[in-house]
């Protein structure tokens, strides 16, 4: 319990650190939101000064940070200058789409990679295993941009899927068509995400299962006449779970931030395009909000992984007790 409390405290401190870092960067930045207005001859300098003071931009850094913390405590997370609205509802609307996309992709990734990794480990050295290890080491080293653009090119070239960008329409359509529309639009981004993520997970699962397969207790289990499938999934997999759980934590941690590129390439109306737009218009409270939300998931994902490891691996449990 003390261990949990400490990790939780550390997570909160980390989030505070991230927000301070963001504000420090805004201070060092030469560009300001109203710079473009300043170029407009129809807008007087007084108007800009008024606007700046209305949004509190003329205050020193510490005051602005204090205000932001207060607004974060009210679950607003600052005020978007471009959208003229509190940041949190803006983010939430888009984050829902992102999470829909990424959780689907994550579930699919794990449903594919876990059995595949175990299966490949069991067939070590055979043709299929070797072919897959070459393919996966190739896939792992290809940057995400290239995978995204290449898959998009394939889909567009052979018209495999109807492509449409823009907001998800919910009004005036029956729920069934809405679900259909959603599903067809999700196929490409989900495929990209699965491609990007699964190769590395399969490799790790395969490696850790291989390690356990060589231990004496597996041979003992085999010698008792326990079947292959039961040995693999009942005896080997739990013993090989630790690296997989850490990786699962990474997957959770990347739920918000991992799909930025994919969303932009596929025109998925998630958090990614919103933050990109906000970056271009230097709407920095929105950008900070996006960073904070994804940092929250990063920290939270790692926290959950820690807890799961604690539950799954007695060695860590005793080690954690020893340390205190």
Query: Which residue among 91, 114, 120, 298 contacts another protein (CB under 8 A)?
Result: 298
Give me the least distance between CB of 150 and another protein, in Å please.
7
CA atoms within 13 A on the CB side of 239: 17
Please identify which residue in 66, 143, 162, 238 interacts with another protein, judged by CB under 8 A: 143
Work out how close the CB of 21 gets to another protein at its nearest, in angstroms, rounded to a whole number. 7
Verify binding: residue 153, another protein, rule CB under 8 A: yes
> Buried b vs exposed e over 94-132: b needs ≥16 C-beta within 10 Å?
bbebbbbbbebbbebbbeebbebbbbbbbeeeeeebeeb
Count Cβ atoms within 10 A of the Cβ of residue 33 and give its class: 0-12 exposed, 13-18 middle, 19 or more buried.
Answer: middle
- Hey, what are 8's tokens? 């939780």
Among 257, 268, 269, 305, binds another protein (CB under 8 A): 257
CA angle centred on 183, ends 182 and 187, rounded to 5°: 120
Task: Give first-to-last CA distance, the chain, whole Å.
Answer: 11
The residue (of 10 and 204) whose beta carbon lies closer to another protein is: 10
Nearer to another protein, 145 or 229 (CB): 145
**C-beta closer to another protein: residue 166 or 172:** 166
Cα–Cα distance measured from residue 283 to residue 288, given in angstroms and rounded to the nearest whole number: 9
Does 291 bind another protein (CB under 8 A)? Our answer is yes
Candidates 86, 98, 109, 144; binder of another protein (CB under 8 A) is 144
Please report whether residue 206 would count as binding another protein according to CB under 8 A: no
Q: Which residue reads 């990209």 in tokens?
A: 192
Q: What is the DSSP letter of 168?
A: P
Binding site for another protein (CB under 8 A): 10, 14, 17-18, 21-22, 25-26, 28-31, 137-138, 140-146, 149-150, 152-153, 156-157, 163, 254, 256-257, 260-261, 264-265, 275-276, 278-280, 282-284, 287-288, 290-291, 294-295, 297-299, 302
């Amino acid at each position: 319990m003390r261990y949990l409390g400490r990790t939780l405290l550390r997570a909160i401190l980390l989030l505070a650190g991230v927000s301070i870092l963001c504000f420090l960067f805004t201070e060092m930045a030469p560009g300001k939101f109203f710079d473009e207005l300043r170029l407009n001859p129809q807008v007087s300098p007084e108007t800009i000064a008024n606007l700046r003071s209305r949004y509190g931009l003329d205050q020193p850094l510490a005051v602005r940070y204090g205000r932001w913390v207060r607004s974060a405590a009210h679950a607003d997370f600052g005020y978007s200058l471009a959208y003229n609205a509190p940041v949190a509802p803006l983010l939430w609307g888009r984050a829902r789409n992102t999470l829909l996309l990424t959780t689907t992709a994550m579930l699919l990734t794990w449903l594919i990679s876990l059995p595949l990794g175990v299966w490949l480990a069991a067939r070590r050295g055979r043709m299929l295993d070797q072919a897959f290890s070459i393919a996966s080491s190739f896939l792992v080293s290809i940057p995400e941009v290239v995978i995204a653009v290449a898959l998009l090119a394939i889909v567009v070239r052979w018209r495999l899927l109807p492509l449409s960008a823009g907001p998800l329409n919910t009004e005036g359509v029956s729920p069934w068509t809405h679900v259909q529309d959603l599903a067809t639009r999700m196929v490409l981004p989900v495929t990209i995400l699965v491609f990007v993520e699964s190769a590395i997970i399969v490799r790790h699962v395969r490696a850790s299962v291989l390690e356990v397969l060589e231990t004496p207790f597996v041979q003992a289990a085999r010698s008792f006449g326990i079947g292959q499938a039961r040995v693999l999934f009942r005896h080997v997999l739990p013993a090989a779970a630790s690296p997989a759980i850490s990786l699962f934590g990474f997957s959770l941690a990347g739920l918000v931030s991992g799909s930025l590129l994919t969303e932009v390439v596929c025109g998925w109306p998630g958090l990614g395009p919103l933050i990109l737009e906000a970056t271009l218009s230097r709407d920095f409270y929105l950008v900070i909000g996006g960073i904070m939300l994804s940092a929250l998931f990063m920290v939270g994902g790692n926290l959950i992984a820690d807890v799961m490891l604690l539950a799954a691996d007695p060695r860590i449990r005793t080690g954690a007790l020893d340390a205190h």
